[in-house]
Chains A and B, each alone.
Chain A
């Protein structure tokens, strides 16, 4: 029952995205997709192991910078640049994990935030990263020398396939025995340890995976917008991805995807209004934490469960 429902949902999701660019501005769709992937990768750490990373923009931004730098200054092919950037992000995730995973709870958040600030500083000061301007005018190139990415529609479908593949990987991770160990850790570290699981190793792996996937989102963003700037590394973005997760539903598969799309929508609707965007984001943050902690998907699935339980009771 639940499986068929999920499969229908998935088909609907893919189907809508496949025809969406006919009706909706493709650049917006691509922004929404990268944000959805970013939020889903962040959710691997926050949603499934309960550790609030406040430095995920570092992985996203480093990969964005690496992609831009390799394509623009070193003439890498698009796919090789993306691949390298994702690997760099993954390595950075492991490095962050090595330090931040010495602590738990809110201290983990503080350490990840501080480490991300180091990366921000380096990008600001290092000549190769272009300081305040960032790296602009990055050519999109052609994927495998064959798919011309300057064609918006081609780019859209290439990006869609990559994002869907990454989301499928995330789905697989969540539902693997590895994902179950993470959830066990989320409930009780001691219990999971006493069952003989190497909690620290699992957390290191999930940090690395999550960072690499966030890096993929950052690299794809560069293909879409053709620039990498300091805002890709800012703590504001780290906060935004938390918000995406929170609105959609932390610890659910669909939640961060919807949340990421919602954040992109908010962003493009209010693009003209400057500081008002951050004010509204701040207020949404406060409201979500106060009244809507389970997020959209969390609240919905609870309602559905309750209704199913009531209808079963009525039948009995």
Chain B
């Protein structure tokens, strides 16, 4: 295999790792926006909080990686229930921009709290032993942990999409997006479903944060840029399309990887250029309806 192709393939593979995080976070955003009509600006801060929770559980309680992988999403879901019940619930009748502003405030506050407590320098989370070593792909050695990130997040994304599109619970969810009043007349507790959806979106952010802890530095700013990339990904994927969010998250990760080969300075803006192109030629997004 020629050297150039190897470089491209390996950069795409590494891009896919980043794309896995984009997909998880954009999926959480897309679920919340389609069910609650609210753009959750704090999704990046919740991702950061998830990573910090994993780090804190390890640092203060000695909890291992595998336990954290379950405990952190659960804790984030509980936090989500609290936020939804106390703050978001009051906004459902208001203009949706207030939801964005509220979650912006939450993001600012959360980031500041962690920065006050832990400063701006990153904390590192040691890699679990099982993951030492790398997978030989022929064109590159992919560390086991990176492979695990890709496998786990794609599995979770597909499971979530199947849950929403193929199960009875999912059909209720979709019905509640279309017409919540009508669904309530069937005796279904729509407010509870909304709480559940928001909590689930946060659990996804918590999962992404825990996954990220061993590979990225855990710092109060780690979600700040991520959230804007995730916004662009949701716009690219299309309104209300969960599949669109996941597919474009993964694709953007790989496109960024490729850009690094040809024009390294452009990698950071590739996602936004992709968004601009989509807006020009297909304003509803790749998989969006209407």
Chain A residues within CB distance 8 Å of chain B: 50, 52, 54, 99-100, 102-103, 105-107, 109-111, 113-115, 117-118, 121-122, 125, 235-236, 239, 242, 246, 274-276, 278-279, 281-286, 288-290, 293
Contacts of A118 in B (CB 8 A): 269, 272-273
Contact of A283 among B105, B111, B276 (CB under 8 A): B105
CB distance from B274 to the nearest CB of A (A): 10
Q: Is B268 an interface residue (CB 8 A)?
A: yes
A106 to B235, CA, bound (A): 10
Contact with A along B64-105 (1 / 0, CB 8 A): 000000000000000000000001001100111111111011
By the criterion CB–CB under 8 Å, are B108 and A282 in contact?
yes
Interface contact tally, CB-CB below 8 A: 120
Q: In the complex, identify which listed stretch (B11-19, B208-216, B226-234) lies at the interface while the others stay far away.
A: B226-234
B135 close to A (CB within 8 Å) = no
How far apart sit A52 and B109, CA to CA, in the bound complex (Å)?
21
Q: Are A114 and B101 in contact (CB under 8 A)?
A: no
Query: How distant is the Cα of A236 from the Cα of B105 in the complex, in angstroms?
Result: 10
Tell whether, in the assembled complex, residue A111 and residue B235 are in contact, meaning their CB atoms are under 8 Å apart. yes
Which of these, B96, B101, B231, contacts A105 with CB under 8 Å? B96
The chain A residue sitting closest to B120, CB to CB, is: A275
Asked if residues A114 and B107 are in contact (CB atoms below 8 Å), the reply is no
Q: Which residues of B contact A (CB under 8 A)?
A: 33, 37-39, 87, 90-91, 94-102, 104-113, 115-116, 224-225, 228, 231-232, 234-235, 239, 265, 268-269, 271-273, 275-276, 279-280, 283
A-B contact pairs, 6 of them (CB 8 A): A111-B235, A125-B268, A242-B104, A282-B112, A285-B102, A288-B101
For B272, give the chain A residue with the smallest CB separation.
A118
Contacts of A54 in B (CB 8 A): 100
Collect the chain A residues with CB atoms within 8 Å of residue B99's CB: 106
Asked if A290 contacts B87 (CB within 8 A), the reply is yes
Q: Contact check, B105 vs A289: say whether CB atoms are below 8 A apart.
A: yes
**Chain A residues within an 8 Å CB radius of B94:** 293
Q: A114-B231, A114-B275 are in contact. Are A283 and B109 (CB under 8 A)?
A: yes
Residue in A110, A274, A285 whose beta carbon sits within 8 Å of that of B234 in the complex: A110
Alpha-carbon distance between A288 and B94 when the two chains are bound, in angstroms: 13
Instruction: Please report the C-alpha to C-alpha distance between residue A107 and residue B37 in the assembled complex, in whole angstroms.
Output: 11
Chain B residues whose C-beta falls within 8 Å of the C-beta of A109 in the assembled complex: 39, 97, 100
User: B39 contacts A275, CB within 8 Å?
Assistant: no
Residues of A within 8 A of B105 (CB): 281-286, 288-289
Interface centre among B90, B100, B110, B268 (most CB of A within 10 A): B100
Q: Which of A114, A285, A289, A290 touches B272 (beta carbons < 8 Å)?
A: A114
Q: Are B100 and A285 in contact (CB under 8 A)?
A: no
Query: Closest approach, in angstroms, between the C-beta of A76 and any C-beta of chain B?
Result: 28
- Known A106-B100, A290-B102; contact A117-B272, beta-carbon cutoff 8 A: yes
Return chain B residues, CB-CB under 8 Å to A282: 105-112
B contact residues around A107 at 8 Å (CB): 235, 239
| Contact A285–B108 (Cβ < 8 Å) | yes
Q: How far is the CB of A267 from chain B (nearest CB, A)?
A: 14
Question: What secondary structure prevails in chain A residues at the interface with B?
Answer: helix
The docked-state distance in angstroms from the alpha carbon of A122 to that of B269 is: 9
Apart from the given pairs A115-B276, A117-B228, A285-B109, 10 other A-B contacts in the complex at a CB distance below 8 Å: A106-B39, A110-B234, A111-B235, A114-B275, A117-B225, A239-B108, A242-B104, A274-B116, A278-B111, A282-B110
Closest to A286 in B: B105
On chain B, the residues within 8 Å of A117 by CB distance are: 225, 228, 272
Q: Indicate if the CB atoms of A289 and B101 lie closer than 8 Å.
A: yes
Question: By CB atoms of chain B within 10 A, which of A274, A276, A290 has the most?
Answer: A290
Check if B232 sits within 8 Å of A114, measured CB to CB: yes
Q: Are B102 and A279 in contact (CB under 8 A)?
A: no
Contact at B39–A110, with CB atoms within 8 Å? yes
Which residues from B are CB-within-8-Å of A111? 235, 275, 279
Chain B nearest CB from A101 CB (Å) reads 10
B272 and A286 contacting across the interface, CB-CB below 8 Å: no
Residues of chain A with a CB closer than 8 A to B275's CB: 111, 114
B252 to chain A minimum Cβ distance, whole angstroms, is 12
Partner of B116, one of A99, A102, A276, A286: A276
Verify A110–B231 contact, CB threshold 8 A.
yes
Known: A242-B101, A285-B101, A286-B87. A279 touches B109 (CB 8 A): yes
Chain B residues with CB below 8 A from A50, complex form: 95
Shortest A67–chain B CB gap in Å is: 24
Closest Cβ of chain A: how far from B147's Cβ, in Å? 30
A residues near B235, Cβ cutoff 8 Å: 103, 107, 110-111, 114
10 closest A-B pairs by CB: A285-B105, A282-B109, A282-B108, A279-B112, A286-B105, A110-B231, A278-B112, A102-B283, A52-B97, A114-B232
Distance in angstroms between the alpha carbons of A278 and B220 in the assembled complex: 13
Q: For residue A285, which residue of chain B has the nearest CB?
A: B105
